[in-house]
Structure 1
Amino acid sequence: MSSSTTPSPSPATTPAPAAKAPRAGMGARFALIALALMWPTQLLSLAGLLGGNAQASVAIHFRTTEIGWFILVNALVGTVVAPFAVKLSDFYGKRNVMIVITVIGLAGDIIAALANNYATLLIGRGIAGFYAPIAALAYASVRELFPPKHVGAASGIIGSGIAFVAIGGPFLTGWVIDSFGWRGVMWSLAIATAIGLLLLLTLVPETPHRVERTKVNWLGGLLLGGGAAALTYGIGKGGEWGWTDAGTLAFMFGGVAAVLLYIVTDLKVAHPLFDLTMASRRGVWSVFLATALVGATIFGTGIIGQLLVLYPKIPTVSDGLGMTATHYAVIGIPASILILVVGFGTGVALRKVDARLPLALGAAFAAVGFVLQRSWHYNSTQLMLLGVFSAIAMGLMVSSIPVLIIEAVSPEEQATANGLQSLAQGVLTTIVTQIVYVILAKDSTVAQGTRFYHDAGYKNAMLFGAAMAVVGLLTVALIPRLKRAEDVEAGEAVAA
């Protein structure tokens, strides 16, 4: 893949042909493809929602103080797998790779659902992490399967599909947890994954783009994933062992060193995992940085509200609100509807509006929401009203990020760009989530083997979320003006 401004296809690359304008009846076919790609992509959001809401039940059931790994092990495995999945999709086709990782993810969901101890549950959650690259591959598939003028809108619609998860997910979670406990949540994920697999098999055509099959930099991928895992583990143990402890520093600096070593090796090997040279262009690295920071902030801090609402209220022990999952779903209705409206509205508006604007507004709304919620988070009314800010932020973000990536790179670079952005956002989300757990743990009490959190911890975590949102907002200013997605033709580079 070329990183020049106007790349020309090499003999080793078979570029995706420009899609023709839809004929009569083709609109329905494109709609079905978009639906089929929306389901597995947004299943990641559903898994995060269901898994996050199940944390309290899992922690109390297994009497563990390490509930953070219920979420983190899934994300870390996804980080390790992502570069390989993207690379193999160039060789064998995105649809084929999506099918394989969905099957593996389904196996992990089933293991987790059948687990009778916490270790087995974590193993299942880890295997389910193989599913994580599905979003990057789905968005890259859009570039090859849709006409150029509809690529931006299709990506925005697929991204805004998170609203359906936001509306139906909480009620599904509430009904399942209140009726069947955390194990019902795991079976729900398995069923949803199976449906996604069926849609991929029946509705999504194979993407035409291929590159010559070469050696895969397996060592580099392990350095990248292992380094990210070591860094995350070190951050998680910093609060327990001490930030100057030799073990903490070894994991943290060792993790950073491994990631840097990956970059050096991938730039030098004949067949790198990613074409990292594209990141030398301002239009590319600035989009990666801004979207990863904003996305990681919004997704990585979601556990604050989940823990606050669903953990029990126990005087001097736990300052959770003790709501049922169903009640949590009810108070989230206005926010869920707003995500739908803002997401679809933004997807349509992006035909005329600079995609940097909604991303910046999303970060700003997130920051304001955290600041206000720090003072008002004690009852249903406050949570319902302030949920408006996070809903607007989510709708703006999920619609603008995929479009910005399309605008920043050429079609030949699309899969790699989606993989790199997804990888960067995944690593940062995991780190942000781990830092949130560390902040919460500083103001907590362990009772009967389970860690419970105090109000001061929730407040400090919200303040951290606000600070991260502001940093994300500032990085959006680094993105130069890009060509609009609907003006991009296949084979044409977008960002200098």
Structure 2
Amino acid sequence: MDGWGYRGALWFLAAATAVAFALVALLVPETPRHSFDSGFDWIGGLVLGGGLTAVVYAVGQEQSWGWSDTRTLGWLGAGIVALIAFVFVERSSAHPILDLKVLRRRPVALALTAGGLAQTVAFTMPGLAILLALHPAVPGVSAGLGWTAHDNAVVSVSWSVVMFGTGLLVSRYLRRFDARRIWCAGLAVMAVGYTLVGFYHGNELELILTSCVANIGAGVVVAGAPALVVGVVSRDEQGLGSSMLNMLISLFDAIVTAGAYAVLAADSTVVDGTAFYLDTGYSWIFWLGALVTLVALLLSVFIPPLHDPAEEDAADGTPLA
């Protein structure tokens, strides 16, 4: 990014995706199929995507237009109408991307919502922290740290490694112990971590220490969310549950990101059409992450005991390996 701009970063991501595609195609075995009835809800996907795009666009333009502007209200209204229509589309779809019948079961709804909210925080907050790192430090105008993209990448390696290592370690113990307790402990640590990031993010050392605390919890969250979902659905619903979790992560990501930018915009300075953010805004986006994590923790308390898919397979005679 420092040498070739944002296009260089996008080309790098395209190349990394191509490599990942090749590795999956060559090395990952095919998942056993329990149902051969397949399909995709194209209409539902378009309606949901269009509705979310309209809402996020309206929130993003709020600083320029204002909440009472007819354009803001028009985009918000169109987005809300599309999201309401999405509910009816899913009810009639043969292959819904968000199965409302499954979501009506309390354990599934709790696990998917808590898992989606928590993973949204784990994935979104580090991305928002890039704004803090790369924006310049101009007293009274911008409270960024003024790092280069390379400096940010070097510093962020610390908490990225912590997140990866924690997730790898925790995944080995999810079936030996109560996954709900491990999950809730991870949520508590992540909430504390992002609360600390909100208070202490003024230099490299502060950001490294507080972000590492947050990413210990994030590692638990990323490792534990799939186990949480698998533990509340049947064997035949595992693929559906996993896809619904990822869809909810995308949904919550759009909402949390739009909310975070609205928080930043409330404490910003616009210079020649470019918004620069002050420290209060940065603090509140991290505290927003902590708050969303606490909501996920509260929901998780009510998740009933999880079942072990291996025991279900053994009960009906399905080979375990």
Distance 1:366 1:253 in 2: 35
Q: Tell me if structure 1 keeps the 8 A contact 2:50–2:79.
A: yes
Partner of 2:292: 468
Partner of 1:453: 277
Which residue of the other structure, out of 242, 266, 269, is the alignment partner of 1:442?
266
Q: Tell me if structure 1 keeps the 8 A contact 2:97–2:243.
A: no
The amino acid of 1:344's aligned partner reads L
Distance 1:398 1:204 in 2: 20
Q: Tell me if structure 1 keeps the 8 A contact 2:163–2:219.
A: yes
Q: 1:217 to 1:188 in 2, by over 3 A?
A: closer
Which stretch shows the higher mean deviation, 407-416 or 217-226? 217-226
SS of equivalent residue, structure 2 residue 177: coil
Query: Whose relative contact order is higher, 1 or 2, with alpha carbons under 8 Å and at least 6 apart?
Result: 1
Q: Offset of 1:376 from its aligned partner?
A: 1.6
Q: 1:490 to 1:230 in 2, by over 3 A?
A: farther
Distance 2:146 2:94 in 1: 56
Q: 1:491 to 1:416 in 2, by over 3 A?
A: farther
Q: 1:380 to 1:188 in 2, by over 3 A?
A: same
Q: Offset of 1:405 from its aligned partner?
A: 1.4
SS of equivalent residue, structure 1 residue 412: helix
Distance 1:491 1:268 in 2: 34
Q: Tell me if structure 2 keeps the 8 A contact 1:234–1:251.
A: yes
Which stretch shows the higher mean deviation, 198-207 or 423-432? 198-207
Deviations 1:276-331 (A, max 9, x none): 31112122111111111111222223333211111122233221111223333343
Deviations 1:170-190 (A, max 9, x none): xxxxxxx33433232122112
Q: 1:346 to 1:488 in 2, by over 3 A?
A: farther
Task: Name stretches of at least 5 consecutive residues in structure 1 with no aligned partner.
Answer: 1-176
Distance 1:372 1:271 in 2: 43
Distance 1:383 1:331 in 2: 9
Task: Indicate whether 1:252 and 2:61 are aligned.
Answer: no
Task: Name stretches of at least 5 consecutive residues in structure 2 with no aligned partner.
Answer: 317-321
Task: Indicate whether 1:198 and 2:22 are aligned.
Answer: yes
Partner of 2:152: 328
Partner of 2:114: 290
Partner of 1:414: 238
SS of equivalent residue, structure 1 residue 178: coil
- RMSD over aligned Cα atoms: 2.4
Distance 1:462 1:424 in 2: 21
Task: Indicate whether 1:377 and 2:201 are aligned.
Answer: yes
Deviations 1:205-224 (A, max 9, x none): 4445252466x543333222
Q: Tell me if structure 2 keeps the 8 A contact 1:312–1:321.
A: yes
Deviations 1:325-361 (A, max 9, x none): 3333343344233223311111011021222223322
Partner of 1:184: 8
Partner of 1:228: 52
Q: 1:491 to 1:274 in 2, by over 3 A?
A: farther
Partner of 1:356: 180
Which residue of the other structure, out of 61, 67, 87, is the alignment partner of 1:263?
87
Distance 1:434 1:268 in 2: 30
Q: 1:452 to 1:281 in 2, by over 3 A?
A: same
The 5 A counterparts of 1:56-455 are 177-209=1-33, 210-212=35-37, 217-270=41-94, 272-455=96-279
Q: Tell me if structure 2 keeps the 8 A contact 1:367–1:467.
A: yes
SS of equivalent residue, structure 1 residue 211: coil
Q: Tell me if structure 1 keeps the 8 A contact 2:194–2:211.
A: no
SS of equivalent residue, structure 1 residue 489: helix
The amino acid of 1:335's aligned partner reads W
SS of equivalent residue, structure 2 residue 269: strand
Deviations 1:104-134 (A, max 9, x none): xxxxxxxxxxxxxxxxxxxxxxxxxxxxxxx
The amino acid of 1:228's aligned partner reads L
Q: How many residues align?
A: 315
Q: 1:337 to 1:366 in 2, by over 3 A?
A: same
Q: Tell me if structure 2 keeps the 8 A contact 1:291–1:401.
A: yes
Partner of 2:319: none
Q: Offset of 1:273 from its aligned partner?
A: 4.7
Q: Tell me if structure 2 keeps the 8 A contact 1:367–1:465.
A: yes
Distance 1:261 1:301 in 2: 31
Q: 1:213 to 1:428 in 2, by over 3 A?
A: closer
Distance 2:309 2:93 in 1: 32
Q: Tell me if structure 2 keeps the 8 A contact 1:410–1:490.
A: no
- Identity of matched residues, %: 36
SS of equivalent residue, structure 1 residue 349: coil
Deviations 1:373-407 (A, max 9, x none): 22221111111211222211211011001111111
Distance 1:491 1:191 in 2: 44
Q: Tell me if structure 2 keeps the 8 A contact 1:318–1:453.
A: yes
Q: Offset of 1:203 from its aligned partner?
A: 2.2
Q: Offset of 1:362 from its aligned partner?
A: 2.6
Q: Offset of 1:463 from its aligned partner?
A: 2.5
Distance 1:446 1:239 in 2: 10
Q: 1:273 to 1:440 in 2, by over 3 A?
A: closer
Q: 1:421 to 1:256 in 2, by over 3 A?
A: farther
Distance 1:271 1:475 in 2: 27
